[in-house]
Amino acid sequence: MTPANPAPAKVIEVNDLVTHYGERKILNAVSMDVRDGEIMVIMGGSGSGKSTLLRQMMALEQATSGSIKLMGQDVDKMNIREMFEFRKKIGVAFQGGALFSSMTVGENIMLPLVEHTKLDSKTMEIMVRMKLQVVDLAGFENLMPSELSGGMVKRAAFARAIIMDPKILFCDEPSAGLDPVIASALDDLILRMRDALGMSIIVVTHELESAFKIADRITVLDKGTILFIGTVDELRSSNKVRIQNLLNRRTEEETLDPDEYLRRLTSGVEEIAGNTGL
């Protein structure tokens, strides 16, 4: 017998992920998942590992150990053709926009269609204009990226990320550096795209207000480990000290343990000094 409301399928499954950069452990036994049609926000301070996790979920970088399944397929086991097909199903809005400065806004947005499809040029042109309408940049197709403001570049990057109607959209710090009104409009756009297109959206951000507005669930990373996974309400009612610090926007500095800080500053110093003859 099947349950009346089965849980949505998992589009991303991260299992026991460990990542080392040289001696440094960036991710430590990270396990989480993203469900079909869900907006999952990944939060964490600088150096928490959130950007590394995002890159590995996009299959741009390999973990040291553990596994990532994207739409049921193990990333490590995909051949080149499978990876090419997979890339058609994901969209990526990079933090800085990553538009090509030598191409018009319209050419930038059309690029994935030119690379991955054999659609008629008229169809592609109309798709570009539709997506520009979606991101409130109607009529901007012939401008160069240098003629756009920071918020407009982000929206144009969104238009490019969704041009192929991806099943999964990755957004890296979508509202960073934007004024609150434009940031809020981008949040609305993320919600509208999910509702209309049913895509799963993974957003890395450190903006609490934005996270609370758009997230179905939030993953909080701290020093490479999962500190919390749950809904906004569950996050708000968490009594973990580090979660409370996050909610109260306390910085690492404000919550500094003096003894731990001293240990960090001096650990191994004697050996270094000895080796250099000081």
Residues that bind other proteins (CB under 8 A): 88, 116-120, 122-124, 126-127, 130-131, 133-134, 163-165, 192-193, 195-198
- Looking at residue 9, what DSSP letter applies? P
Taking the mean position of all CA atoms in its chain, how far away is CA 49?
A: 12
Residue 49 or 106 with smaller CB distance to other proteins: 106
CA dihedral 143, 88, 34, 96 (to 10 degrees): -30
Min separation Cβ 127 and other proteins, Å: 5
Residue 165 or 216 with smaller CB distance to other proteins: 165
SS3 23: coil
Separation between Cα atoms, residue 193 and residue 187, nearest integer Å: 10
Residue 26 or 193 with smaller CB distance to other proteins: 193
Give φ, ψ of 215 to 5 degrees: -75, 135
Radius of gyration of the CA atoms of the chain, in A: 21
Min separation Cβ 255 and other proteins, Å: 43
Residue 77 or 118 with smaller CB distance to other proteins: 118
Residue 192 or 250 with smaller CB distance to other proteins: 192
Min separation Cβ 175 and other proteins, Å: 20
Separation between Cα atoms, residue 58 and residue 40, nearest integer Å: 14
Render 125-188 in DSSP notation, one character per residue: HHHHHHHHHHTT-TT-TTS-GGGS-HHHHHHHHHHHHTTT--SEEEEESTTTT--HHHHHHHHH
SS3 43: strand
Separation between Cα atoms, residue 34 and residue 71, nearest integer Å: 10
Min separation Cβ 119 and other proteins, Å: 6
Give φ, ψ of 8 to 5 degrees: -60, 150
Min separation Cβ 263 and other proteins, Å: 54
CB contact at 8 A, 18 and 29 = yes
Residue 130 or 247 with smaller CB distance to other proteins: 130
Residue 126 or 256 with smaller CB distance to other proteins: 126
Min separation Cβ 107 and other proteins, Å: 17
Min separation Cβ 37 and other proteins, Å: 12
